[in-house]
Structure 1
Amino acid sequence: MNFPALVLLAFAMSTDAFAAAIGKGAAMRQPKFLQALRIGLLFGVIEAITPLIGWLAGSVATQWVAQWDHWIAFVLLLVLGASMIREGRSGGDEAARPEPRNQSVPMVALTAVATSIDAMAVGVGLAFVDVSIVEAALLIGLATTIMVTIGVMLGRLLGSVVGKRAEIVGGVVLIGVGAAILYEHFGA
């Protein structure tokens, strides 16, 4: 997987966290940049760890599925992308709904873990392709930190409208990255 594809993957992985951050920002009274950055860093660290966990699990299975690795990565990204698109189009987007004003660290961390489950599944898929998992995890964490910080700051202004669209775009990008993996495998 090339660097531009990794960057797109990183930003696609951060869109659900971005949607959640908009909800967090909408629930806060005039969030300050340092508050937003702290929330962004917490999300980013958690989002960077989960693909590493997924990659470790996928690496164990690599020797048994080497012939099908590109298809596994494609299907995982396709399913995750389709799920993100479906969630972005649904009327009940929990991540973008304003929450109570309590922004405690455990509650923010729990939200970050919930939005990073898809990054773990992507990590499993990355175990089957030629990619530096450390570079991928760092890019995912950085993109998430940036997107969540921006999302918190924009939350008061934009509400849930952008969150849904961001998740749809992220889903389309994930499907595109999966298609690029197949394209690279078949040497076209």
Structure 2
Amino acid sequence: MSSITLIFTSLGLSMDACAVSISNGMCYGNIHKKQIITTAAAFGFFQAFMPVLGFFIGSAFSNAISFLDHWIALVLLGFIGVKMIVEA
């Protein structure tokens, strides 16, 4: 990955975590400091760990599924699109 790709990916992930944190804060008015720190640590850990885990798993299986990758993307994105249309 290039540096610019990493920067935009990290910005997107941080905006996602920020949006979830804001919505949690709006839903739960009386939160203790321990809950705030625990939630922030959990979000930070998973936002950092999951892309790294995905990179390593993707690297391990890249040779095995490289001939199917575009079909897998088509099926997954098609499923999500149809699901969004049905739920709308």
In the TM superposition, what are the counterparts of 1:29-178 in structure 2 within 5 Å? 29=29, 36-64=36-64, 65=66, 79=77
Structure 1 position 11 matched with structure 2 position 5: no
Q: What's the CA shift string for 1:54-112, capped at 9, x where partnerless?
A: 223212222232x787x69xx59xx5xx98xx7xxxx9xxxxxxxxxxxxxxxxxxxxx
Distance in structure 2 (CA, Å) of the matches to 1:37 and 1:10: 21
Q: How far does residue 4 in structure 1 lie from its aligned partner after superposition?
A: 2.3
Q: Write the letter of the residue equivalent to 1:27.
A: C
- Unpaired runs of at least 5, structure 1: 92-188
Q: How far does residue 35 in structure 1 lie from its aligned partner after superposition?
A: 5.4
Q: How far does residue 37 in structure 1 lie from its aligned partner after superposition?
A: 4.5
CA, structure 1 residues 32+4, in 2 after alignment: closer, same or farther (shift >3 Å)?
A: farther
Distance in structure 1 (CA, Å) of the matches to 2:63 and 2:17: 33
Q: How far does residue 9 in structure 1 lie from its aligned partner after superposition?
A: 0.5
Q: Write the letter of the residue equivalent to 2:12.
A: A
Q: How far does residue 33 in structure 1 lie from its aligned partner after superposition?
A: 7.5
Q: What's the CA shift string for 1:5-62, capped at 9, x where partnerless?
A: 2011112123333222112111233668775444222101022222233223212222
Q: CA RMSD in A?
A: 3.8
Q: Write the letter of the residue equivalent to 1:61.
A: F
- Unpaired runs of at least 5, structure 2: none
Question: Computing the radius of gyration over CA atoms, which structure comes out larger, 1 or 2?
Answer: 2
Total equivalences in the alignment: 78
Distance in structure 2 (CA, Å) of the matches to 1:37 and 1:3: 30
3-state SS in 1 of match to 2:29: coil
Q: Percent identity?
A: 23
Distance in structure 2 (CA, Å) of the matches to 1:45 and 1:15: 15
Distance in structure 2 (CA, Å) of the matches to 1:48 and 1:62: 22
